[in-house]
Amino acid sequence: MTGHGECTRESNSLCCVVEVRAVNNRHLKMVFRSDDTHSVLEPDVERVLRETIKRGSVMVSFKSKRLAPSSSQGDKPLIDTSLLQSYLSQIHAAASLEKSGEILAAACLQLPGVLLTTGNEVATSLEEEWPLWESALRGALEKLQKMRQREGMAMARELLALHANIKTEAKSIAERAPEVVKLHREKLRSRLETAFSQAGLERRVEPHEVLREAAMMAERLDISEEAVRLSSHMDQFARFVEHEESPGRKFDFLIQEMLRETNTIGSKASDLEIAHRVVEIKGLLERIRELVQNVE
């Protein structure tokens, strides 16, 4: 299921922006994007994510901005001079430069850790920052879930419509089944009469002469058990759509069972009309299978 959520949280010194995007996937897969400083938070991010989402390919993006106090006397950036000197020394050694120059020094100011917090502000550790990030992450996930729930409601309506179509086809098959036995019995009687005629025997076929073969044929053509199981699976499917929480994997199993019963009905019935309805049911089940791959 797809969705998007974004949330911003601020403290006195930090602005956290978390964006979450989800697309369809049978399993849960997370991609975490942030600067190098916050990459170590990925296990915590995945832990929170798994509390909310069970399926989907999810991209989580962390963006941050340091906030300077509005009324601070010393609101100029501070420089870690020792770290800057270390960068310059290593660059000189690697490039065999005799002097740095203002351009090189200015460029080094962009290197990680050289510019410190502003004014009297003290940099916080990731452990201290995490509650703010977590709050923003949960806010983004809440918005994401609301969008996914709207999509889920639309999907549920479509699943129930497909379910109703399958029920209609299954009912027609159940009504047709007794007629199939009668038709095969009449075909058997007709073949016997033809055989007698070709043999020059002037006689009619008596009921007892086809009774045993008709009984065996009726047993082979009987699809009542398969029809009952298919109907039971369909009722369970409707309950999952309307009431079950996180039914995605249960849907997978039910569809597999419904396909098995449908195939058995098609192979046992030996009737063209039932065969056509079996094909229709299998097509509807395939559409359901495609939909439920995205259901949690």
242-257 mean pLDDT: 78
Give bridge partners of residue 6 from the DSSP assignment.
19
Instruction: Compute the distance between CA of residue 201 and CA of residue 68 in angstroms, rounded to an integer.
Output: 111
- Please say if the pLDDT value at position 41 is more than 80: yes
pLDDT digits (tens, 9 = 90+) for 77-92: 566 677 767 777 777 7
CA separation for the pair 44, 32 (Å, rounded): 11
**CA gap 177, 273 in Å, rounded:** 10
Map out the domains of the chain as residue ranges.
Answer: 3-69+125-149, 77-118, 153-292
| Helix ranges restricted to H, the chain | 42-52, 81-95, 101-108, 126-198, 207-221, 224-243, 248-269, 272-292
Distance CA 232, CA 177 (A): 18
Instruction: Write down the pLDDT at residue 133.
Output: 94
Q: What confidence score (pLDDT) does residue 216 get? A: 63
Per-residue buried b or exposed e for 120-131, using 16+ beta carbons within 10 Å of the residue's own CB: ebeeeeeeebbe
Q: Give yes or no for a contact between 233 and 257, defined as CB atoms under 8 angstroms apart.
A: yes
Mean pLDDT of 131-146: 94
Q: What is the mean pLDDT of the chain?
A: 79
Cα torsion angle, 204, 207, 212, 213, sign: positive
Distance CA 16, CA 103 (A): 32
What is the mean predicted confidence (pLDDT) over 63-68? 78
Q: In angstroms, what CA-CA distances link 292 with 35, 246, 283? A: 36, 11, 15
Distance CA 292, CA 162 (A): 12
Assess whether pLDDT exceeds 70 at residue 144.
yes
What are the E-state strand segments in 217-296?
none
Q: How far apart are CA 7 and CA 146, in angstroms?
A: 14
Question: What 3-state class would DSSP assign to 237?
Answer: helix
Q: Which residue has the higher pLDDT, 186 or 65?
A: 65
Does pLDDT of 72 surpass 50? no
With cut-offs at 50, 70 and 90, classify the pLDDT of residue 70: low
- The pTM of the full predicted model, rounded to 2 decimals, is 0.59
* Higher local confidence (pLDDT), 179 or 194: 179
Phi, psi for residue 53 in degrees, rounded to 5 = -115, 135
Quick one: average pLDDT of 69-81?
56
Higher-confidence residue: 128 or 276?
276
Q: What is the pLDDT of residue 251?
A: 85
pLDDT band at 197 (very low <50, low <70, confident <90, very high): low
Output the CA–CA distances (angstroms, integers) from residue 293 to 55, 159, 247, 283, in the order listed: 9, 12, 11, 16
pLDDT confidence tier of residue 73, bands split at 50, 70 and 90:
very low
Sign, Cα dihedral of 240, 244, 245, 247: negative
Q: Which helix (H) or strand (E) holds 203?
A: none
Least confident segment among 110-114, 158-162, 186-190: 110-114
Strand partners, 17: 8, 63
pLDDT higher than 60, residue 7: yes
Are the CB atoms for 283 and 165 separated by under 8 Å? no
Would you say 148 and 22 are in contact if contact means Cβ atoms under 8 Å apart?
yes
Q: What is the mean pLDDT of residues 99-128?
A: 60
Task: Record the tokens describing residue 201, joined without a space.
Answer: 């025997």
What's domain 3-69+125-149's architecture?
2-Layer Sandwich (3.30)
